[in-house]
Structure 1
Amino acid sequence: MHPAIVVVLGDIGHSPRMCFHVMSLTAKGIPVQYVGYQESRPNDRLLNDPLVTIIPISPPSPFISNLPSIISLCFKLIWMCGTLISTLFFKTASSASLILVQNPPGVPTLWFGYFASKIKGATFVIDWHNYTSSIIQYNYDLNNDNKSLTYIQMILKFIAGCIASFEGYFGRRAKFNFCVSNSMRIDLKNKWNVKAITHYDRPPSWKFRCLTIEDKHQFFWKLCQHPDFASLISQKQEFDKSSTETTLFSYRDKDGVSRLRNDRPLLLISSTSWTKDEDFGILLDALRKFDTSPPPKRSSLMLPKIFVVITGKGPMKEQYLQTMNKIRWRYVTIVTPWLEAEDYPIMLGCADLGVSLHASTSGLDLPMKVVDMLGCRVPVLAKKFDAIGELVKPTNGKLFKSMEELCNLLVEMSGGFPESSKVLTDLKNQLLEEHPGSWEAQWDANFWPPIENLLMSKLHEKRRRERFSDDGYSEESD
């Protein structure tokens, strides 16, 4: 069978959904050529898959981003056009069964993906994660109707409108469109008459899971050697006279059984891109308010200390780190570690509570970090926007709009932790009873059936033509 070509105009290592698509295709025996930036190391499963060939492309020079906005966009477009032409038409297979393109970014990926599908005889498929046009509008502050736009912003708004038309045009020409939420499916139909199939993100069965106390203790003990954690969670004094391997969160008793400490802090985790569309200031201000709660209130509500782990990297990280370091925390500890890829899902599984600050530029995409948290059976506090209710429900988390609401939820969820935090415990128990479903099951149910039918019909047609061609040759030779 001809290979599938998967195209991401972004870092492969930070494109988990597309990586899961690739591994699901190879699980069906389809070889995949994976095109994208290789700025970080992808998952070992992907790297070790003999059916996967990664074809790296070079990202635009950082110098381009420092140019004025319109000039920067033009140079990036020229760079990406040249890169995609050389890669899709000269470095990938001459024939392909499928070309799967991620949007965003859709410019110029959608055009070249569609054109390449015609040349290579491939089925053109788009996986909609968000809209390129909505990101442009958000990044350049073009959505505020009450604000007068500068001349440059007016040009950018016109460009964003052209990009929206571009997205709709190629969406209608794709054989199949898949999207991350039902809200997006409806919007695609209403806005551009694009028919799409909702394909929710789900945690892969091999990566995110509920951890045992032994799993957690082993990881906490491992973190005692981690430079970002060692001084914070290592415990020189044993929890009691008979305990060994004591950490801030757990210990091993005299019988060798791992146990969680009943005086441990609540472990809260959040992952952020440190950009303005994920306003970390909301969490920081909520934690500061929690930290300054009067002692009588803390005592009456039995509020614990909170140990906060913030993962991710981005342009505003240093700015927020400087702000955090100026605060004299009493009941809150914040760590911003660099974790190895294999440690991230374990860190999630050890958490008591997750926080998502994701605010969709379109209001229609869903944060994959929340999917990961729920896969580890960790309750989530998520920032509210239009589509988030499709993922965060009363049985697995709560929503907030402001710093005040988030702080109130932190108080509500942590009160009495760890022995008598009823709200948090009830959510945790409901999550344990629910099964969110795995990526593999979701993919087999939603994505694979239409693709399989099309690929099989193509294969049967090819064999039929080959058979007729062979028969014709035999008749002439007779």
Structure 2
Amino acid sequence: MLETFISIAFWLSSLITLVILVLLPTPYHPDPASRDESQSSPKNPNAKAKVTTQILVLGDIGRSPRMQYHALSIARHGGDVDIIGYHESEPHPEIMSNPRISIVPLPSHPAFLQTSNKLLFLFYAPLKILLQVVYLWNILAYRTKPARWLLVQNPPSIPTLAIASLVCFLRHTNLIIDWHNFGYSILALKLGSNHPLVKLSHWYERFFCRFAMVHLCVTVAMASVLKTKFPIKAPILPLHDRPASHLQPILDHQKRRDFILSLPESEDVRSSIVDGNIRTIVSSTSWTPDEDFSLLIDALCRYSELATTSKPYLPKILAIITGKGPQKEMYLRRISECKKAGKLGKVTIRSAWLSPYDYATLLASATLGVSLHTSSSGVDLPMKVVDMFGAGLPVIGWNRFESWPELVTEGVNGRGFGSSEELVDCLVDLLGDSAQLEKLRAGAYQESSRRWDDEWDPVAGHLLGFINIGSTNKVKKQTT
């Protein structure tokens, strides 16, 4: 009897051990046979193994420009990249054509799990997270080869940070968290800062962030918060967003006007464009609660009234709003109601979804950019403003958060506002006075010279082992 029990225990334990060994993810080991082509010559026996990186975006890859820029920078330096995320809209064309970059799509969750209803959100959220856990674990642990680095976009934090931390531990992969904002602060917009789920999210983010080897973040202000309020001992490197190379100013006024004329959104006002009696403003939005779009609608209604009744000349406005998101239809209905009520006589508002290059050309061709990003944490920055500066477009934006001055210099390359009334003042001042507008445009042109590669190379490029230059001192200063 005892021998039978021992025999069963032996075979059972052997089976369990075998299952564990089979199911455990394959760990990362540098492959000596995998070399960059430029280093594969027998004359260079000390060539380093190729840098392999996974980039995880728990969102639409095509609407995550910073993570796409990371991938392009890594690929340009000879590294191999897997981008893991939802493939809903077209990524940057260079992402699709680069042989060093592979897109690994996450399966889309059922549409019914996406809701703006607060009660349904509380019910659906656990189901959505459970599906995401299964999808992420399957892709990160089994469907992809182990990589040297895993770069994770945060937020969303749940369940990304937990799954990434565990996979990196099992696969001997180095985890990098790229902080765009704080997940708990965005959740607080929907549920309120005192909600138990927000507090749980705050704890979760603080707990799992400690497992990262390095932290990147979009502002110096965010780095300060991470250093003082999070239990992080690893290096924290500020890496500001900068525009990619396809975002460039267009100096030829005729080319700018011709592009605006070519857009379907300008069809109703083409005669005014030809006559020079209309100005084009552009705003990019994700149509989410952290951008109160009613500010712009109210301001445009008031501007239209002033353009109709005031003695100083104010041009008409063509406002082109780009982007996709959950609150789009709600705001479009409101715009339609304002138009029917005769409140937009001097203003034409159109929504659009453009290719990356058409969007870049629109920014370079417009008169003024508008940012409504209000910042849930106060220490992040809107990528749209970076893109606008890359195209030489002056910006007016919501400025009631701490990190705004890291991006915009008041009166030099843009102006800030904190209410709909102040937004109206900005529109009247700049569209009614070409001298003020040209001054800001000159500042935006100057800002356009600051590029992503200049920021990325000495920080992330040095971290990943691509760059070994005199900028090492700059990185050291940023980590202290």
Residue of structure 1 in register with 2:7 after alignment: none
Structure 1 unaligned blocks of 5 or more: 144-156, 236-247, 251-260, 456-478
Q: How does 1:15-414 map to 2 (within 5 A)?
A: 15-66=64-115, 68-93=120-145, 95-142=146-193, 157-194=195-232, 195-223=235-263, 226=264, 228-233=265-270, 235=271, 248-250=272-274, 263-293=276-306, 295=308, 297=310, 299=311, 301-326=312-337, 327=339, 328=342, 329-384=344-399, 385-394=401-410, 395-414=412-431
Structure 1, 164-173 or 391-400: larger mean CA deviation: 164-173
Q: How does 1:396-435 map to 2 (within 5 A)?
A: 396-416=413-433, 421-435=434-448
Distance 1:433 1:7 in 2: 33
* Deviations, residues 353-401 of structure 1 (Å, cap 9, x unaligned): 1110011111111000011111111111111222112111121111111
* Deviations, residues 400-453 of structure 1 (Å, cap 9, x unaligned): 11111111111111114xxxx221111112333445511111100221112217
- Partner SS, residue 60 of structure 1: coil
Q: CA deviation at 1:163?
A: 2.2
The answer to whether the 8 A contact 2:261-2:267 is kept is no
Distance 2:436 2:68 in 1: 36
Distance 2:417 2:328 in 1: 23
Distance 2:96 2:420 in 1: 41
1:453–1:340 CA distance, 2 compared to 1 (3 A): closer
The answer to whether the 8 A contact 2:394-2:443 is kept is no
1:161–1:139 CA distance, 2 compared to 1 (3 A): same
- Partner SS, residue 362 of structure 1: coil
Structure 2 unaligned blocks of 5 or more: 1-49, 469-480
1:434–1:3 CA distance, 2 compared to 1 (3 A): closer
Quick one: which amino acid aligns to residue 149 of structure 2?
L
1:65–1:307 CA distance, 2 compared to 1 (3 A): closer
Distance 2:428 2:260 in 1: 25
Distance 1:73 1:441 in 2: 40
Distance 1:48 1:230 in 2: 33
Distance 2:281 2:466 in 1: 45
Quick one: which amino acid aligns to residue 207 of structure 1?
L
Q: CA deviation at 1:115?
A: 1.8
- Partner SS, residue 249 of structure 2: coil
Distance 1:374 1:128 in 2: 22
Structure 1, 317-326 or 117-126: larger mean CA deviation: 317-326
* Deviations, residues 291-334 of structure 1 (Å, cap 9, x unaligned): 1127562x3x3211111111112222222222222322222121
- Partner SS, residue 40 of structure 1: coil
Aligned residues: 408
Distance 1:366 1:430 in 2: 19
- Partner SS, residue 53 of structure 1: strand
**1:4 counterpart (17, 40, 53):** 53
Quick one: which amino acid aligns to residue 382 of structure 1?
G
Distance 1:304 1:321 in 2: 23
Q: CA deviation at 1:207?
A: 3.1
Distance 2:345 2:409 in 1: 33
Distance 2:466 2:301 in 1: 55
1:436–1:164 CA distance, 2 compared to 1 (3 A): farther
Distance 2:169 2:59 in 1: 23
The answer to whether the 8 A contact 2:248-2:392 is kept is no
Distance 1:313 1:403 in 2: 23
Quick one: which amino acid aligns to residue 275 of structure 1?
T
The answer to whether the 8 A contact 2:178-2:217 is kept is yes
Distance 1:347 1:109 in 2: 34
Distance 1:141 1:412 in 2: 37
Q: CA deviation at 1:214?
A: 4.3
- Partner SS, residue 465 of structure 2: helix
* Deviations, residues 83-136 of structure 1 (Å, cap 9, x unaligned): 11111111110x311111110011111122122222222211110001111111
The answer to whether the 8 A contact 1:309-1:336 is kept is yes
Distance 1:383 1:79 in 2: 36
